[in-house]
């Protein structure tokens, strides 16, 4: 067992966990943050993507011990109260989700993509960057639209700040 | 209709919880005192169990119990059933071997459950499962259709000699033979419909709780049809009578058919929750999904088509072998028969059709309905055959299709289906225009000058959906009726709850069903809640599959709404001192036509519940229910055209354009319809170029993870050009046909027809990987 301290969605969390505990299981089973999902066991599907110190990471491949002291953001932590993150709003407005299971991971990956590329995003880049997130429902068409739409919303918001 | 009524592109009501991480899936559920199940599974495709050592596992920390197949048999939990009886040509019933929820004596596929560990945590259960030692005596295995039907093949079940489940036929053999004897040309094709793994992103899961004081079970499960699950668990598996068993399917992360079936793991979780006296949770991992979720497709077929000298179709002859895996899954028997062979007439006027289907056992995971279920196999076979014919007869593939299109409706095909309406020329014309078919030769020439091979491929599909008239499917062997139920509850404050037997696992029912109510009453959709997925709340229902929720589920709501409106009009007329025939409903108000007298819906509802001033003899309350049984299948149809470019150096296919024109009848929410088409198309494209469930000769599934099974990724597939033509379905009050499966049905033939057109070699199997395409090109060059 190990004791770890980390910040999750702005709150300091300490936990006593088995050394083999994965971040996704800490989030889901210990902290009750069930928005982060598990869709595979080989780090392929991306349903479990969260932000660790601002970067998109698959939480199913991260041991809790590796994130001692880190700052974690999950899907539950990106909206400001009732105000959706622009990526969340874009997924809703563009019908970028159906069953919703891959959606949290998609949104967390997509936010990171926009952060990294800023205004230089096109369809081909989005499709390439989403390689690590599998969706079985949407055929990706509307996910790509959502990400491009959110990118322009986020850039506008950034420019305004 | 209002801005949120039928036809409006309304953003989905359910999205907020999903995009904020507040969905509630089965694995999110935690009960007091909950334990965790982990299954011990067979590593062999075929073996006798000669012993199981449990003591070490039972002694491990946190282990509550380890239960075996023999115990579940001893406790008289029923064997898994197949719910659709099919009879062979000779009249004999299909030949089924027993499928216990955990194997007591013999395992017949890799991944079959043998024992289950119940422990205080997921990890402890997993650790203890490693300590269970099962002794096996390996038996020879048959891993594919050819091996299963070979002379001297290993036999799976003594009940099914030769591994044959049934040898079934449909159509008029004599008339078909006569058609071929008169043919000017006969075109033949042999092909494989590759085996697929459904891979909904949410793995299956179950949480079971037993309350001994009430002798009552609750099951939370990843199901497309919780009421069917309860019925089967109760009537056939002896878990509990229906009134002592509640089944809840909360948010479900995709189904695609694979979550129709009631699997061994749910049965075991329920049984174990009573045995241990603790709630039991099982959550499958992806590897378990690969080896235990029912697979799809897996046919070997030969088809021949007879043409007259004018290229009119005279007859079609098909022989198909269908792989059922090791056991007959719940609806498996119907998939390659009544959901496949009945669609082999396609969009064409074919006077005579004869089809034989042989169902085969193999030592592989059971095979059942997967998005489209039989209809993709029919469309792929027929549309490749027609494209092949166009090439051999040296006629334009669009014109060959047009020449043979059915243009008069209703149309009775030689294989049961009576098409009610359609306009196949309209969708083909729209698709040809959208892709600039006339400009293709110039594009091909330009690509050639750049060293690339361009190809274009058509696929004109038809499907039978809205499954289906109960009397009709009953006469064909179905064990259930396929109606749907609905209940409309108007609350005293005028908000509305719709209880439906349909189940939404991505389809957006919470929005589209509310749009129907908004359309009829002129109220906003946020005043309407859709209640589904809980047998304690909804009386009964048949669930969601076969593109049935709009055509059948919403038709039931429509009927119940009519009853509610009729009663509400009576109340309004009484309150307004008018004739009920003069009452019209507009913008949430009941108005006396031609006057300014009106009463708002909440006031009518309140009057119904206070019952202070109702017409004489009227019961209080405003709540009505309805059952709707469809009168026919619905027949969505359309034309898909794919344009590809193949790199001759690598065999890699790139998509230049993909056009889909569908006729789904009336669209409730075009945004959601387009989303359904996108998803279906990518499943069809995935089958065509990427996905393949591969077993080695010993029966190991070598593609049992996302590292080995090529799921379509965002950069494997194109964006789509989608449009619609419309003929309203005459068979239901909404004129809807269903849109859930079309993409998966029509896409794969369009892709392969395009690739084979590009490389000039028609001998190409799915998935058309770069390796296969490259080899086909080399063979073609060698032949030339």
**pLDDT tens, B84-107?**
999 999 999 999 999 999 999 999
- Is residue A142 situated within a structural domain? yes
Kindly report, residue by residue over B234-280, the tens digit of the pLDDT: 999 999 999 999 999 999 999 999 999 999 999 999 999 999 999 99
CB contact (8 A) between residue A35 and residue B27: no
Residues linked to residue B640 through DSSP beta bridges, in sequence order: B459, B660
Residues of chain A with pLDDT > 90, as a percent, come to 93
Q: For B299-339, how does the pLDDT look when each residue is reduced to its tens digit (9 = 90+)?
A: 999 999 999 999 999 999 999 999 999 999 999 999 999 99
- Considering only CB atoms, A76 lies closest to which of B11, B21, B505, namely B21
Residue B26 lies in a domain: no
Same domain, B649 and B777: yes
> Is the residue at A56 inside a domain?
yes
With contact defined as beta carbons under 8 Å apart, do B602 and B662 qualify?
no
pLDDT tens for residues B142-187?
Answer: 999 999 999 999 999 999 999 999 999 999 999 999 999 999 999 9
Is the ipTM, as predicted for this complex, more than 0.85?
yes
Asked if the Cβ–Cβ distance from A130 to B715 is below 8 Å, we say yes
Of the pLDDT bands very low, low, confident and very high (cuts 50, 70, 90), residue A98 is very high
CB-nearest partner of A131 from B11, B25, B714 = B714
β-strands A55-58, A11-17: how paired? Answer: unpaired
Place of tokens 């075996």: B68
Confidence of residue A158 (pLDDT cuts 50, 70, 90): confident
Quick check: B23 and A100 CB within 8 A?
yes
- Distance of residue A3 Cα from the nearest chain B Cα, in angstroms: 18
| Distance between CA atoms of residues B18 and A105, nearest Å | 11
| The total number of structural domains that make up chain B | 3
CB contacts of A25 in chain B (<8 Å) are 122
Q: Is B203 in Cβ contact with A100 (below 8 Å)?
A: no
Would you state the pLDDT for residue B366? 98
What is the spatial distance between Cα B552 and Cα B629, in angstroms, rounded to a whole number?
A: 7
Tell me the CB-side half-sphere exposure of residue B193, using CA atoms within 13 A. 33
Considering CB atoms only, which of B201, B508, B681 is closest to A136? B201
Backbone angles phi, psi at B598, to 5 degrees: -155, 155
- pLDDT surpassing 80 at residue A16: yes
CA distance from start to end of chain A: 45
Nearest to A35 among B22, B286, B675 (CB): B22
What's B61's domain CATH number?
A: 3.90.1170.50
Domain of residue A97, CATH code: 1.10.150.120
Identify whether B59 is part of a domain.
yes
A141 contacts B678? CB cut-off 8 A:
yes
pLDDT digits (tens, 9 = 90+) for B31-57: 999 999 999 999 999 999 999 999 999
Task: Please indicate, yes or no, if residue B45 is contained in any of the structural domains.
Answer: yes
Give the residue from B271, B292, B313 where a domain finishes: B292
Q: Which one of A24, A43, A76 terminates a domain? A: A76
Residues of chain A found within 8 Å of residue B715, distances taken between Cβ atoms: 124, 127-128, 130-131
B632-671 confidence digits (pLDDT tens): 999 999 999 999 999 999 999 999 999 999 999 999 999 9
First to last CA, chain B: 62
Residue B784 has pLDDT above 90, yes or no: no
The CATH number linked to B545 is: 3.30.365.10
| DSSP codes of every residue in B712-728 | PPGGGS---EEEE----
Please check whether residue B173 lies inside any domain of the structure.
no
Cα distance from B706 to chain A (closest Cα, Å)? 6
Q: Are residues A9 and A66 in the same domain?
A: yes
Residues B268 and B359 in one domain: no
Quote the DSSP letter at residue B553.
Answer: I
pLDDT given for residue B447 in this prediction: 98
Question: Residue B203 and residue A39: Cβ atoms within 8 Å?
Answer: yes
The C-alpha of B288 sits at a distance from chain A's nearest C-alpha, in angstroms, of: 10
Bridge partner residues of B359 (DSSP)? B166, B322
Please tell me whether residues B460 and B508 are part of one structural domain: no
B190 contact partners, CB below 8 Å, separation of at least 6: B300, B301, B302, B303
B493 and B410 housed in the same domain: no
Domain count, chain A: 2
The predicted structure's pLDDT at residue B706: 98
Buried b (16+ CB within 10 A) or exposed e, B502-525: bbbbbbbbbbbbbbbbbbbbbbeb
Q: How many CA atoms lie within 13 A of B360 on its CB side?
A: 26
Which pLDDT value is given to residue A157? Answer: 73
Q: Are residues A58 and A92 in the same domain?
A: no
Range of the domain at B548: 483-628
Q: Which residues of B touch A91 (CB under 8 A)?
A: 15, 19
DSSP B263-317: -HHHHHHHHHHHHHSS-EEEE--HHHHHHHS-BB--EEEEEEEEE-TT--EEEEE
Residue B170 lies inside a defined structural domain of this protein? no
How close B253 comes to chain A (CA, Å)? 5
Predicted confidence (pLDDT) at residue A160 exceeds the cutoff of 90: no
Which residues of A are less than 8 Å from B25 in CB distance? 34, 37, 101
Distances B618 to A4, B163, B559, B567, B609 between C-alpha atoms, Å: 67, 63, 20, 9, 11
Domain that holds residue A142: 86-160
Q: Are residues A142 and A95 in the same domain?
A: yes
Q: Tell which of A76, A101, A123 closes a domain.
A: A76
Same domain assignment for residues B652 and B623: no
For Cα atoms B92, B415, B94, give the angle at the middle one, nearest 5 degrees.
20
Do residues B321 and B449 share a domain?
yes
Nearest C-alpha in B relative to A40: B286
pLDDT digits over A58-89, tens only?
999 999 999 999 999 999 999 999 999 999 99
| B2 confidence band (pLDDT: 50, 70, 90) | low
Count of CB atoms situated within 10 Å of the CB of B148: 24
Residues A153 and A86: beta-carbon distance below 8 Å:
yes
Which one has a higher pLDDT value, B402 or A161? B402
Q: Which of B251, B508, B682 sits opposite A139 (nearest CB)?
A: B682
Q: Which of A42, A92, A142 sits opposite B675 (nearest CB)?
A: A142
Task: Grade residue B438 by pLDDT with cuts at 50, 70 and 90.
Answer: very high
Single residue among B572, B603, B628 that ends a domain in this structure: B628
Scanning every residue of chain A, which has its alpha carbon at the shortest distance from the alpha carbon of B252? Answer: A99
Select from A46, A76, A106 the last residue of a domain.
A76
Nearest CA-CA distance, residue A151 and chain B, Å: 17
Average pLDDT (B754-760) is 97
In a domain, A119, yes or no: yes
- Tell if the CB–CB gap between A138 and B679 is shorter than 8 Å: yes
B590 and B519 within one domain: yes
pLDDT at B138 over 90: yes
Q: What is the pLDDT of residue A120?
A: 87
Report how far residue B29's alpha carbon sits from residue B26's, in angstroms, rounded to the nearest whole number. Answer: 6
Are both B617 and B682 inside the same structural domain? no
Mean per-residue pLDDT for A92-121? Answer: 96
| Angle of CA points B520, B522, B524, to nearest 5° | 115
Q: Please give the Cα distance from B156 to B28 (Å, whole number).
A: 39
B408 and B447 share one domain:
yes
- B332 shares its domain with B456: yes
A12 and A62 share one domain: yes
Q: Provide the 8-state DSSP code for B695.
A: B
Give the confidence band of B1 by pLDDT, cuts at 50, 70, 90.
Answer: very low
Same domain, A72 and A6: yes
Residues A95 and A152 placed together within one structural domain of the fold? yes
Query: B618-631 pLDDT, tens per residue?
Result: 999 999 999 999 99
**DSSP structure string for A94-152:** TT--SS-SSHHHHHHHHHHHHHHHTT---HHHHHHHGGG---SSSTTHHHHHHHHHHHH
A55 plus A109 within the same structural domain: no
* Number of other CB atoms surrounding residue B106 within 10 Å: 21
Size of interface A-B (CB pairs under 8 A): 180
B193 located within any domain: no
- Whether B475 maps to a domain, the answer reads no
Boundary (domain end) residue, out of B587, B612, B628:
B628
B67 and B119 in a single domain? The answer is: yes
Same domain flag for A68 and A106 = no
A141 and B18: CB-CB below 8 Å?
no
Average pLDDT, chain B: 97
Residues B434 and B505 in one domain: no
Each residue of B714-732: pLDDT tens digit?
999 999 999 999 999 999 9
* pLDDT tens per residue across span A117-139: 987 899 999 999 999 999 999 99
Residue A161's pLDDT is 63
Which of B251, B286, B671 is closest, CB to CB, to A100? Answer: B251
Q: Are B518 and B2 in contact (CB under 8 A)?
A: yes
Q: Are B505 and A134 within 8 A, CB to CB?
A: no
pLDDT at residue B460 greater than cutoff 60: yes
CATH number of the CATH domain containing A65: 3.10.20.30
Spell out which residues of chain A touch residue B682, defining contact as CB-CB under 8 Å. Answer: 139-140
Q: Average pLDDT in the A14-43 region?
A: 96
Q: What pLDDT, on the 0 to 100 scale, is given for residue A119?
A: 76
């Amino acid at each position: 067992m190990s004791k770890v301290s980390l910040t999750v969605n702005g709150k300091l969390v300490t936990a006593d966990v088995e050394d083999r505990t994965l971040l996704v299981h800490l989030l889901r089973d210990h902290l009750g943050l069930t928005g982060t999902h598990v869709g595979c066991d080989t780090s392929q599907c991306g349903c479990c993507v969260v932000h660790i110190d601002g970067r998109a990471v698959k939480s199913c491949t991260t041991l809790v011990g590796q994130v001692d002291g880190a700052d974690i953001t999950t899907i539950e932590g990106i909206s400001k109260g009732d105000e959706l993150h622009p990526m969340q709003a874009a997924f809703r407005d563009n019908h970028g989700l159906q069953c919703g299971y891959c959606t949290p991971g998609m949104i967390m990956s997509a936010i990171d993509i926009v952060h990294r590329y800023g205004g230089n995003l096109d369809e081909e880049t989005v499709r390439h960057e989403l390689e690590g997130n599998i969706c079985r429902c949407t055929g990706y068409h509307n996910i790509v639209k959502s990400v491009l739409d959110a990118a322009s919303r986020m850039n506008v918001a950034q420019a305004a700040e | 209709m209002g801005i949120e009524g039928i036809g409006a592109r309304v953003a989905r009501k359910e999205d907020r919880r999903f995009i904020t991480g507040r969905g509630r899936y089965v694995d999110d559920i935690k009960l007091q005192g909950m334990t965790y199940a982990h299954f011990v599974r067979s590593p062999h495709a075929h073996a006798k169990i000669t012993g199981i050592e449990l003591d070490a596992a039972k002694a491990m920390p946190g282990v509550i119990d380890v239960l075996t197949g023999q115990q579940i048999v001893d406790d008289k939990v029923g064997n898994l059933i197949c719910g659709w009886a099919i009879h062979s040509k000779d009249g004999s019933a299909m030949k089924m071997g027993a499928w216990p929820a955990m194997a007591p004596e013999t395992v017949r596929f890799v991944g079959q459950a043998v024992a289950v560990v119940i422990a205080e945590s997921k990890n402890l259960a997993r650790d203890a499962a490693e300590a269970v030692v099962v002794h096996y005596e390996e038996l020879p295995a048959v891993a594919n259709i050819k091996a299963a039907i070979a002379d001297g093949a290993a036999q799976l079940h003594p009940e099914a000699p030769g591994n044959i489940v049934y040898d079934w036929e449909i159509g008029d053999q004599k008339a078909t033979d006569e058609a071929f004897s008169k043919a000017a040309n006969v075109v033949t094709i042999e092909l494989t419909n590759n085996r697929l793994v459904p891979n909904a992103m949410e793995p299956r899961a179950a949480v079971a709780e037993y309350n001994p004081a009430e002798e009552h079970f609750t099951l939370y499960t990843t199901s497309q049809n919780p009421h069917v699950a309860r019925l089967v668990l109760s009537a056939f598996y002896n878990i509990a009578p229906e009134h002592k068993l509640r089944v809840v399917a909360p948010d479900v992360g995709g189904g695609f058919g694979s979550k129709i079936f009631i699997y061994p793991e749910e049965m075991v979780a329920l049984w174990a929750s009573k045995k241990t006296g603790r709630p039991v949770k099982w959550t499958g991992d992806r590897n378990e999904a690969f080896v235990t979720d029912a697979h799809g497709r897996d046919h070997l077929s030969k088809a021949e088509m007879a043409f007259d000298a004018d290229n009119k179709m005279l007859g079609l002859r098909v022989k198909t072998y269908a792989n059922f895996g090791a056991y007959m899954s719940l609806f498996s028997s119907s998939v390659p028969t009544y959901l496949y062979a009945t669609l082999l007439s396609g969009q064409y006027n074919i006077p005579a059709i004869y089809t034989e289907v042989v169902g085969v056992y193999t030592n592989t995971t059971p095979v059942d309905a997967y998005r489209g279920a039989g209809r993709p196999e029919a469309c792929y076979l027929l549309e490749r055959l027609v494209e092949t014919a166009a090439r051999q007869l040296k006629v334009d593939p669009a014109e060959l299709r047009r020449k043979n299109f059915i243009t008069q409706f209703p149309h009775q095909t030689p294989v049961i289906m009576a098409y009610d309406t359609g306009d196949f020329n309209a969708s083909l014309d729209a698709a040809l225009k959208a892709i600039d078919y006339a400009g293709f030769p110039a594009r091909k020439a330009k690509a050639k000058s750049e060293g690339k091979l361009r190809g274009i491929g058509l696929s004109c599909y038809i499907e039978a959906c809205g499954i289906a008239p109960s009397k009709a499917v009953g006469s064909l062997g179905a064990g259930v009726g396929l109606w749907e139920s609905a209940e409309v509850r108007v609350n005293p404050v005028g908000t509305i709850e719709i209880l439906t037997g349909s189940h939404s696992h991505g389809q957006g029912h919470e929005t589209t069903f509310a749009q129907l109510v908004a359309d009829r009453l002129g109220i906003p959709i946020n005043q309407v809640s859709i209640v589904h997925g809980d047998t304690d709340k909804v009386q009964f229902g048949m669930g969601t599959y076969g593109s049935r929720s709009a055509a059948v589920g919403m038709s039931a709501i429509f009927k119940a709404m009519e009853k509610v409106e009729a009663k509400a009009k009576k109340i309004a007329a009484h309150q307004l001192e008018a004739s009920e025939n003069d009452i019209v409903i507009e913008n949430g108000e009941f108005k006396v036509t031609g006057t300014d007298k009106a009463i708002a819906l909440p006031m009518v509802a309140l009057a119904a519940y206070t019952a202070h001033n109702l017409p004489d003899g009227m019961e209080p309350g405003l709540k009505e229910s309805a059952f709707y049984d469809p009168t026919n299948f619905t027949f969505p149809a359309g034309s898909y055209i794919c344009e590809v470019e193949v790199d001759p150096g690598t065999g890699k296919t790139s998509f230049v354009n993909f056009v889909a024109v569908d006729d789904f009848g009336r669209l409730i929410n075009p945004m959601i319809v387009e989303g359904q088409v996108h998803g279906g198309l990518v499943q069809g494209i995935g089958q065509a170029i990427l996905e393949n469930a591969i077993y080695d000769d010993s029966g190991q599934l070598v593609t049992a993870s996302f590292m080995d099974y090529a799921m379509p990724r965002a950069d494997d597939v194109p964006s789509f050009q989608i449009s619609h033509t419309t003929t309203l379905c005459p068979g239901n009050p909404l004129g809807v046909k269903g849109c859930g499966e079309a993409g998966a049905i029509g896409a794969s033939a369009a892709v392969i027809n395009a690739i084979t057109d590009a490389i000039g070699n028609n001998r190409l199997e799915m998935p058309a990987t770069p390796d296969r395409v490259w080899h086909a090109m080399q063979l073609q060059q060698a032949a030339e």
